[in-house]
Structure 1
Amino acid sequence: MPLTPADSALFGGMFTQPDVAALYTDDAYLRRLMQVEAALARAQARLGLIPTASAQAITALAEQFHVDVRPLSEGLLQDGVPVPALLAQLRPALPEAAREHLHFGATTQDIVDTAFVLGARAALGVLRRLLLDVTDALAALARTHAATLMPGRTHAQQALPITFGLKAGGWLTPLLRHLDRLSELEARLYTVSFGGAAGTLAALGERGLDVASALAQELHLAVPPTPWHTQRDTVLELAAWLTGVCTSLGKLAQDAILLAQSEVGELAERGGGSSTMPQKQNPITSELILAAASTAAGLLAAVARSGIQEHERGTHGWQVEWLTVPQLLGLTGAALAHTARLLTGVQVNAGRMAQNVTASNGVMLAEALSFALSTVMSREEAHSTVKAAARRAAAGEGHLTKLVRQDLGARAEAIAWTDLTEARALGVTDLFIQRALDEYARVRGPVPHQERP
């Protein structure tokens, strides 16, 4: 196994998503660095700071130049960043008159951080699409199974009846909040990094902010109030968002694993066979989602620590971001892709859900019974009466309502027993499902009729 499974031809599909992975190859990264250098040259040419011919030559070179990675790697070990060695390859390939205009007034971190933003923007575009696909599938499940009765569980024990539509709606709504958070995050993250050697743009004199604005326009980014060389809050916010998505998907996957247990049997996912036990249908897809969520949580801690950077230019925190944030992007892409596949092939066993409700002998009606009995006795006596009968029902002595009726004797005549069924004990479940679907419609926006689940 390679040091990083996400980069493996064998394991890569488990821990990343192809469209995200394609954005984080060496070639894609170097293309972004050259894209920023070319945009800087064009911005400066528009402002009259360098000749237009130089900007044109730099742009043309950036679009067609093939970097020799080996000397670049050697230079990276010496300089700690790839830009100096990259410039050493680019300059000789330019007309002599244009060489001094390459990287004019910038510092290495300006180029690397701006390229980081460009990569994150492209990756988040992929993740948004995948996240929308998952919300579409969950909204469809919530609609289809709005009335599919199943046990609701608290502390891993059967508690009250719910519907599978409500559970799907509960998986859906956090993801809708993540989509809202993404829009908020993007407004802060998509900014140009341009501060020069120490965050003053002194090399450009009074034209520094003009260049920053022009560079931002070239790349369709915003200009922050001050250079963010050691202000890493937006990087941390990105990492936290990615981890939050993975955590929400992990909750879904954990539920799916528990519902797929042989003794429960309410859900099943495709595939997952055993090499020796023909009967097994292991929840492998859910396991991969959980692995991504667990790993993301650890990576987030490293990103949080890396944000404590020194003075106007940090030391090692930058490199920690390189080790963690691309992995987080890849893991989140993988988790979303696996979740979409899980939901596409999930088998909802409504019959088994109903059987599990029936097999409970009415114990899930204990709360409703307690409230009903409180009309003819004190709340304390009602609770005690139902609790004693529930123990007997759980032991197989009969249905809870039947046992309570027997215990009540004549007082049972005052209770509306026909209302005490699991299907009538759902509270405002329908309203909650509709609220989840209304929120989905707000966040999702208009979808062509044939695509709406």
Structure 2
Amino acid sequence: MSEHERETGLFTGSVLFGGLWSDGEVTELLSDRTLIGAMLEVEAVLAEAGQVAGLVPAAAAAAIAAAARGLDIAPEMLAAATARDGVPVPAMVQRLRRAVTGEVAGFVHLGATSQDVLDSAMMRQAAQVLAVIDRRLAQLVARLTALADAHRATMMAGRTRGQIALPVPLGLRIAGWAAPLIRHRRRLTELQPRLLVATLGGPVGSLSGIDPDAAARLEAEFAARLGLTLPPMPGHAQRDGLAELGSWLSLVAGALGKIGADLLIMARSEIAEVRIGGAGGSSAMPHKRNPVRAELLVAAAREVAGRLGALHGALIHAEERDGAAWTVEWQSWPAMAVATAAALNHAGGLLDDLEIDVPAMQARAGDGDDRGSANRFIDRVIADASHADGRLSGEGEDA
């Protein structure tokens, strides 16, 4: 089993199926090597924060930070110990202690526990992954709103409950694909401060053994140097942030699945209002053009939604730390992130190759040209996208 298979699930890491389910950019951000590097950076920052708090001598902090940032630990070096300990941090800390000399080793990992290091490192990874996903969302929204604007006058048969209803502009349907994605970008800016938090609580979440005033300086400096939010208290057994992340990923994947489901119907042979380019071939029927990318959007939405239940189940963290529930998180949210990122790539490719048969649409719509408030709704979505993009990029009104 490959490194990515172990980390993000069988099909997201499979060489054979990776083109369907995986995403190279996001998978690399969640790789074992990237995680080890993030954990070592947490140890470096912990030593530097300890110096600011008066807990670690300056020379020791500098030595630990340099050693942590200079270590190259292959995942294979920690694999056996991780299987034994249930977490890679103890073996990694041992290697870091051996990399420094004398009394300096006693200041390595000062005041922290394994969960502090792993949780904080994973939040650094999550921040990078979410930046990639948000960038792709912005690009997809821009393309969808432009397409909606271009097809204001393209009338098609609106359908409700699988039956032809009244004519409706294609642009309105496409605006309906874009609207939830715009809201999801806003939701992301709202949830990030709750999710991207530093964890530093020590053995039982109370930073025991450290003077409270020094501990306050330590955790504030630790969070600031990692670029993470400082929560009111360490969240060793409070996992709502990751559950919210999973919910958000499922919302995004579900919105993409809606696009895929609509296009699958529109591309049906007996409807043929669109043609999906780059379609897959059949081993038995050479005349077929299978709508693979649209199918993948639906499949990814179902995959991500299925994993959400496991992540919500991990909310039940007993007492001050729960290894069983904690372990479930490692398998769930990275796989959900990879599948969602892959779906965004497929959605972009789908739009690249999409052929819209305007005459076929308008023929089925008949002579009806009553657009009602469709143009106004399309305008609102386009304006909402522009406003959201300005706010999210720091332009426009102050938040």
TM-superposed deviation, 1:277: 2.6
1:13 Cα offset (Å):
2.5
From 302, 312, 316, the equivalent of 2:310 is 302
Equivalent in 59, 66, 75 of residue 72 of structure 2: 66
1:181 aligns with 2:187: yes
Say which is worse superposed, 56-65 or 181-190, in terms of deviation: 56-65
2: CA distance between counterparts of 1:352 and 1:58? Answer: 68
- 1:148 corresponds to: 154
What TM-score, normalized by structure 1, do the two folds share? 0.82
Counterpart check, 1:240 vs 2:186:
no
Where do 5+ consecutive residues of structure 2 fail to align? 394-399
Aligned-pair identity in percent equals 37
Structure 1 residues 39-97: Cα deviation after superposition (integer angstroms, max 9, x where no partner): 11111112221112222222222222121433411111221111101111121111223
Contact 2:33 2:75 in 1 (8 A): no
Q: What amino acid is the match of 1:54?
A: A
- Alignment-derived partner of residue 226 in structure 2: 219
Partner of 1:265: 272
- Is 1:114 equivalent to 2:120 in the alignment? yes
Residue 172 in 1 paired to residue 192 in 2?
no
The one-letter code of the counterpart of 1:158 is I
In the TM superposition, what are the counterparts of 1:293-372 in structure 2 within 5 Å? 293-358=301-366
- Judged with a 3 Å threshold, the aligned counterparts in structure 2 of structure 1 residues 144 and 78 are, in CA distance, closer, same or farther, namely same
- Over alpha carbons, which structure has the higher Rg? 1
Number of residues of Structure 1 aligned to a counterpart in Structure 2: 385
User: Hey, what does 1:422 align to over in structure 2?
Assistant: 368
Residue 50 (1) aligns with residue 56 (2): yes
Distance 1:17 1:257 in 2: 23
Aligned to 1:287: 295
Deviates more, 1:317-326 or 1:268-277: 268-277
**Which range moves more in the overlay, 74-83 or 146-155?**
74-83
Aligned to 2:382: 437
* C-alpha distance in 1 between matches for 2:109 and 2:265: 56
Counterparts of 1:69 and 1:342, CA distance in 2: 36
Give the TM-score, by structure 2 length.
0.93
* C-alpha RMSD over aligned residues: 1.6
Task: Report Cα offsets for 1:375-404 as digits up to 9, x if no partner.
Answer: xxxxxxxxxxxxxxxxxxxxxxxxxxxxxx
Deviation at 1:274, TM superposition (A): 2.4
Residue 316 of structure 1 aligns to a residue whose secondary structure is helix
User: What is the letter of the counterpart of residue 143 of structure 2?
Assistant: A
Tell me whether 202-211 or 238-247 shows the greater mean CA deviation: 202-211
Q: Is the 8 A contact 1:162 1:426 kept in 2?
A: yes
In structure 1, stretches of 5+ residues that fail to align are: 359-420, 449-453
Which shifted more, 85-94 or 252-261?
85-94
- Letter of the 2:383 partner, please give it: D
CA distance in 2, matches of 1:249, 1:70: 37
Is the 1:230–1:313 contact (alpha carbons within 8 Å) kept by the matching residues of 2?
A: yes
Runs of 4+ in 1 over 6 A off after TM superposition: none
Counterparts of 1:38 and 1:85 in 2: how far apart (Å)? Answer: 16
After TM superposition, give the deviation of residue 191 of structure 1 in Å: 1.1
Higher relative contact order (Cα pairs below 8 Å, separated by 6+ residues): 2
Whole-angstrom distance in 2 between the partners of 1:101 and 1:329: 35
Out of 192-201 and 274-283, give the one that drifted further.
274-283
Structure 1 446/218 Cα, relative in aligned 2: closer, same or farther at 3 Å? closer
